[in-house]
Chain A
Amino acid sequence: MITFALHGIGVSGGIAIGRAQLISHATLEVAHYTVPSSRVDQEIARLDFAVDEVQKELTTLHGTMMREGELPGEFGAFLDVHWMILNDPTLAEAPKRIIAEQRCNAEWALVQQMNVLIDQFDQIEDAYLRERKNDVVQVVERVLKRLMGKPGSLPTAVAEERTILVAHDLSPADVIQFKTHHFAAFLTDLGGVTSHTAIVARSLSVPAVVATHNARQMIRDGEMLIVDGSSHVVIVNPDRAVLAEYRLKQSEFELARQKLKRLRGKPAETLDGQRVVLNTNIELPGDLAQVLDSGANGVGLFRSEFLFLNRHGLPTEDEQFEAYRAVAAGLAGKPVTIRTFDLGADKHKEDLEGLARVAPNPALGLRAVRFCLAEPRLFLTQLRAILRASHYGKVRILIPMLSSVAEIDQTLAMIEQAKESLREQGEPFDEKVPVGGMIEIPAAVLAMGGFLDRLDFLSIGTNDLIQYTLAVDRSDEAVSHLYDPLHPAIIKLLALAIGGANKAKVPIAVCGEMAGEVAMTRLLLGLGLRDYSMHPAHVPTVKQRVLSSDVAAIKPLVERIKRTDSPEKMAALIDKLNA
Chain B
Amino acid sequence: MQIREIRLRNTQGLHARVAARVVKVAGRFKSRIVLTVGERRASARSIMAVMMLAAAMGATVRLEIEGPDELAALEAVAAVLASPGERR
Contacts and interface: CB of A to CB of B under 8 A. Distances in A.
Interface of A: 77-78, 80-81, 84-85, 88-91, 117, 120-121, 124-126, 128-129, 132, 135-136, 344, 346-347, 349-350, 356, 358, 362-363, 474-476
A346 B52 contact: no
Nearest to A363: B87
Given A80-B20, A347-B83, A362-B87, A126 B47 contact: no
A346 B85 CA distance: 9
Given A347-B83, A358-B82, A474 B49 contact: no
B86 to A, nearest CB: 7
B15 A128 contact: yes
Contacts of B11: 476
B84 interface: yes
A358 B79 CA distance: 9
A84 B79 CA distance: 20
Contacts of B13: 126, 128-129
B20 to A, nearest CB: 5
Given A88-B46, A136-B48, 14 more contacts: A81-B20, A81-B47, A84-B23, A88-B47, A88-B48, A88-B49, A90-B49, A135-B16, A346-B83, A347-B83, A347-B86, A349-B79, A350-B25, A350-B80
Interface residues of B, number: 31
Contact of B88 (A80, A89, A129, A475): A475
Interface string B1-37: 0000000000111111101110111000000000000
B43 to A, nearest CB: 8
Nearest to A131: B16
Nearest to A133: B51
B45 interface: yes
21 contacts: A81-B16, A81-B20, A84-B23, A89-B45, A90-B46, A121-B52, A124-B54, A126-B13, A128-B12, A129-B13, A132-B16, A346-B83, A349-B79, A349-B80, A349-B83, A350-B21, A350-B25, A350-B76, A350-B79, A356-B79, A363-B87
Nearest to A357: B79
Interface of B: 11-17, 19-21, 23-25, 45-49, 51-52, 54, 56, 76, 79-80, 82-84, 86-88
B50 to A, nearest CB: 9
A5 to B, nearest CB: 35
B84 A346 contact: yes
Nearest to B49: A90
A89 B21 contact: no
Contacts of B82: 358
B84 to A, nearest CB: 7
Contact of A85 (B17, B25, B47, B80): B47
A113 B5 CA distance: 32
B84 A362 contact: yes
A129 B51 contact: yes
Nearest to B9: A358
A90 B52 CA distance: 12
Contacts of B51: 121, 129, 132
A325 to B, nearest CB: 29
B27 to A, nearest CB: 9
A344 B87 contact: yes
Nearest to A124: B54
A460 to B, nearest CB: 18
B83 A77 contact: no
A128 B19 CA distance: 13
Nearest to A91: B48
A474 B20 contact: no
Nearest to B15: A128
B48 A90 contact: yes
Nearest to B17: A77
A106 to B, nearest CB: 19
